Structure 1
Amino acid sequence: MPRAKERKQKPKGAPPSVVPVLQKFLKTYQKYCVQSRTSPCPAIQRDLKSSIDREQVLRRFMLVRAGDASVSSPPVSLEPLLMAIRDESYVLGKEICVWGLQLTNPEIARLALFLESKGHTTCPVTTLEIINCKMDLWSLGRLGKALQFSGLQLLVLDYCKFGNEELESIFSGLETNQRLQGLSLRYCGLGPQSGPRLGSVISQSAICELHLDGNYLQCSGTLALLRPIAEYAEMQGKAQPTSASPHAGNPTLLPQVCRGGSSTLSQIAKSSEAVTVQRTSQRKRGKRGIRKKAHRPMEAGPWVATLHLADNSIDGTGTDGEQLPELARTLTCLIKYSTHLREIDLGNNVLGETAAVAILEALRARKAGKLPPLKVTVTPRISSDTFTSIWKHSKKSNKTSKKKKKAKN
């Protein structure tokens, strides 16, 4: 009989295998699903089994509805997953994504407690995605309070429809937050009245990546959002033209694995990080050696590095459109002076030829001032010459430069 495929023996001193950890985690998760009378998430079970087969750490938990579940089947719940992470002290997970579920108050309460235990949590989650989910006002208020104490670096709430009260619950947890660096509120139904609140949140937090595509901010809401950022950029640009923020040119800081986890998981986590450091050092070796980056809170202030405002009904129509000239002046001021801005997406908004020409002149002034390159996206509903010139003055993507290098080689 042919021998069964044996796993390769690891050399002495190698970190322990993650397979037993994942196997135990899967059993614990299934146990809590049975106890809570909920259905195990097919995606989580599939990802766990795949990670076991590949002997790799599972860092992203994707919680979705069962596609073939019958109407009478128990629902998929977030609680068993959080309880399994707690009981198994699973310190390797970094991301939790919940997609298309009706989240109940007990689920959000459990999630809030999980996020609030910063420094003691068994899972140092840095990314939370709640996409196309339904939550009531109480749940959003509880989640907003938890954001003040969480260690999240990225929060995604795309396709969750919010009213004014619901938005206020979320925004209250973002002000003075010096840990959250990325916020995505795409297709959330944000109107012009959300602009001033967004500007206030950006001015008092460390958020440097803001994705607001698919909303209804219009000219007035966008102007209220950009005004404090542009004024700050102009003040800094005229006072200290060469000054730069800790965000400028730096990648997103990665969280350290929290203390208090099991020794096996700690060794696995350290070995995983060591592999990353080794790969990075191999790329940089021979020039400047290994660079050590400090893990510290980011600087709060009215500035951003990435700003996506595509499809927000920004045009010159109606009463609101009368503010388009002022918005164009504010936008060009931001482009000319901001040393932090790296990308701005204004696609699917009809800015008009006058505003487009102003953006082009601002890009030329930015280049003349030797500021960092800026990628600008606009809708081609302007003259072809202006559109082509904006494209040429914008920062080119890394993919394009890589293809050119390969072609030369």
Structure 2
Amino acid sequence: MAKKGKKGKGGKKKSKRVKWDEDSDIYQKKFLGTYEMQCTLDKSIPCVWLQKALKKGIEDRMYARKFIIEEVDVGMKDPNTPPVRLRPVVRSIRNERFTHVHEICCWDLETEHDEVADLALLLEKGFYPVRRIELMDCDIQHFTVARFSKAFRVSNLVEINLDYNEFGDAGCVGLCNGLKNNKIMLSISLCYCGLTPKSGEPLGEVLCKTTVREFFLDGNQLQCDGVIEMLRYAAANAEHENSQRIEEEKMKALMIAEGALETSDKMLTSQVTTDGGVTTEGGADSAGSKPGSGKKKKKKKKKGKKKKKAEALPPVVGPYVHVLHIGDNGIDSYGPGREDKLFLCIEVLKRMLMYSQCFIELDMDDNVIGDMAARELLAGLDARKLGNLPAVKVRTTAELGQTTYESIAKFSFGMKKKKKKGKKKKKK
């Protein structure tokens, strides 16, 4: 047998042992059996993806932490076959007290109100460590969103995605009411949800009074008014904090300069003693100290413990935006009075770029803002660089002058873009 250690004979590195999740195969077998039985009771069919994930987890003796529940491909499905449902998954988790799933993703399902309510009740238990929920294109209504959001105050969720559910402003208000005073949620995605400028105010309140720092809002109609309402306080706060930061840096530089002057004064006033020793600040002569004191003592290196990794700080409540995606939101100058609104909107975004230290990503693609407005954003980016603030990624529409577009395009490197989905046909 090879000796334990970092290296075996011949200097070869020993291969790392794979860590298994204890009894994961037993618990997952039991959960899979319960899920398949629950599907029969609820007149549903098991999700193929979830079955495969659980079977692989059993084989590898590792828990499947992410559950994806999606409908069978339309081309492969028998019209008489019952649908895949969310309900059996939620009930199986509750019945087995299965506390090993961290993400639940539900895609392209006709989801009923009581199914989402069941999911909310599960999250409200608190001991289920579900951190991320996706309910994409699930035909969720505004009153269902309001019920689901009541779970946020006691759940462990840090990210929610409700894309392609056209619940409109009423649904956005219900969601934002559930997020009030939330201290752990970090990211919300409401792309293609039918939002209008009326959603700007509730989203702004979430931005200011919670820990949410990432907003994905592509494909709505927030327009200039909605964006202004959402960001105006955050922009003002960023400018104020930037001014404070500059003042603090000036004070720090002044204190360092004064400290350097004080040190040089002390060096000039120090006196050399007759036996060659230098008088210290306390007046003691280094040559007149105890015998043998001239020898430098070697400091013993303490065998300390390995430094622990610094613990991540809890998210900060306040008007701090890290990521903002507002592509295809009708931010343009078309229509009476819209040109003035556009420049007010661009001014708010420009201030965010100039002053916000935490702002790292802005996506404004598919909004025809024009060359003049785009140059204002570019001026904000130049000011940010001069202020030594962290780099930011920015994407705008290609319908600009070549020079302006190329200048801004340099800042979009590495930014991912969500794919547009086709609209799902509603069942009659």
- Asked if these proteins are the same fold (TM beyond 0.5), I'd say yes
| Residue 385 of structure 2 is aligned to residue 367 of structure 1 | yes
Distance 2:406 2:18 in 1: 60
| Residue 237 of structure 2 is aligned to residue 237 of structure 1 | no
| Residue 24 of structure 2 is aligned to residue 18 of structure 1 | yes
What is the aligned residue count?
A: 341
| Residue 75 of structure 2 is aligned to residue 57 of structure 1 | no
Contact 1:156 / 1:184 at 8 angstroms: preserved in 2?
yes
**1:100 aligned residue:** 108
1:47-71 Cα deviation digits (max 9, x unpaired): 2123333443211111112233433
**1:41 aligned residue:** 47
What percent of counterpart residues are identical? 34
How big is the shift at 1:366? 0.6
Contact 2:169 / 2:196 at 8 angstroms: preserved in 1?
no
Q: In the alignment, which of 383, 401, 404 is matched to residue 383 of structure 1?
A: 401
How big is the shift at 1:165? 2.3
Q: In the alignment, which of 329, 338, 358 is matched to residue 376 of structure 2?
A: 358
Distance 2:17 2:116 in 1: 44
**1:340 aligned residue:** 358
**1:32 aligned residue:** 38
How big is the shift at 1:308? 0.6
Distance 2:407 2:19 in 1: 58
Structure 1 residue ranges without an equivalent (≥5): 1-9, 244-287, 400-409
Q: In the alignment, which of 206, 209, 218 is matched to residue 214 of structure 2?
A: 209
The SS at the match of 1:193 is helix
Contact 2:141 / 2:165 at 8 angstroms: preserved in 1?
no
| Letter paired with 2:323 | T
1:169-189 Cα deviation digits (max 9, x unpaired): 212111211111000001111
Contact 1:219 / 1:321 at 8 angstroms: preserved in 2?
no
Distance 1:339 1:205 in 2: 18
The SS at the match of 2:197 is coil
Distance 1:11 1:317 in 2: 63
Distance 2:361 2:316 in 1: 19
Distance 2:49 2:18 in 1: 35
**2:179 aligned residue:** 174
Distance 1:212 1:105 in 2: 24
TM-score by length of 1: 0.77
How big is the shift at 1:398? 9.3
**Structure whose CA Rg is larger:** 2
The SS at the match of 1:344 is strand
Distance 2:18 2:318 in 1: 50
The SS at the match of 1:22 is helix
Distance 1:23 1:242 in 2: 62
| Residue 83 of structure 2 is aligned to residue 78 of structure 1 | no
The verdict on how the C-alpha distance between 1:164 and 1:289 changes in structure 2, with shifts beyond 3 A counting, is: same
How big is the shift at 1:359? 1.1
**1:266 aligned residue:** none
Higher relative contact order (CA 8 A, sep 6+): 1
Distance 2:403 2:106 in 1: 44
Distance 1:137 1:331 in 2: 30
How big is the shift at 1:109? 2.0
Structure 2 residue ranges without an equivalent (≥5): 1-15, 249-305, 417-428
How big is the shift at 1:305? 0.4
How big is the shift at 1:395? 6.7
Contact 1:306 / 1:344 at 8 angstroms: preserved in 2?
yes
Contact 2:21 / 2:61 at 8 angstroms: preserved in 1?
no
Matches within 5 A, 1:112-123: 112-118=120-126, 121=127, 123=128
Contact 1:314 / 1:321 at 8 angstroms: preserved in 2?
no
Distance 1:397 1:109 in 2: 38
The SS at the match of 1:63 is strand
1:350-371 Cα deviation digits (max 9, x unpaired): 1111111111111111111100
Contact 2:395 / 2:412 at 8 angstroms: preserved in 1?
no
The SS at the match of 1:361 is helix
How big is the shift at 1:16? 2.8
CA RMSD of aligned residues (A): 2.5
Q: In the alignment, which of 317, 326, 330 is matched to residue 313 of structure 1?
A: 330
How big is the shift at 1:140? 2.4
The verdict on how the C-alpha distance between 1:213 and 1:22 changes in structure 2, with shifts beyond 3 A counting, is: same
**2:119 aligned residue:** 111
Q: In the alignment, which of 141, 166, 170 is matched to residue 165 of structure 1?
A: 170
**1:280 aligned residue:** none
| Letter paired with 2:131 | T
Q: In the alignment, which of 95, 111, 116 is matched to residue 87 of structure 1?
A: 95
The verdict on how the C-alpha distance between 1:336 and 1:138 changes in structure 2, with shifts beyond 3 A counting, is: closer
| Letter paired with 1:301 | G
Contact 2:223 / 2:332 at 8 angstroms: preserved in 1?
yes
The SS at the match of 1:53 is helix
| Residue 140 of structure 2 is aligned to residue 135 of structure 1 | yes
Contact 2:102 / 2:130 at 8 angstroms: preserved in 1?
yes
**1:146 aligned residue:** 151
Distance 2:342 2:142 in 1: 34
The SS at the match of 1:155 is strand
The verdict on how the C-alpha distance between 1:55 and 1:354 changes in structure 2, with shifts beyond 3 A counting, is: same
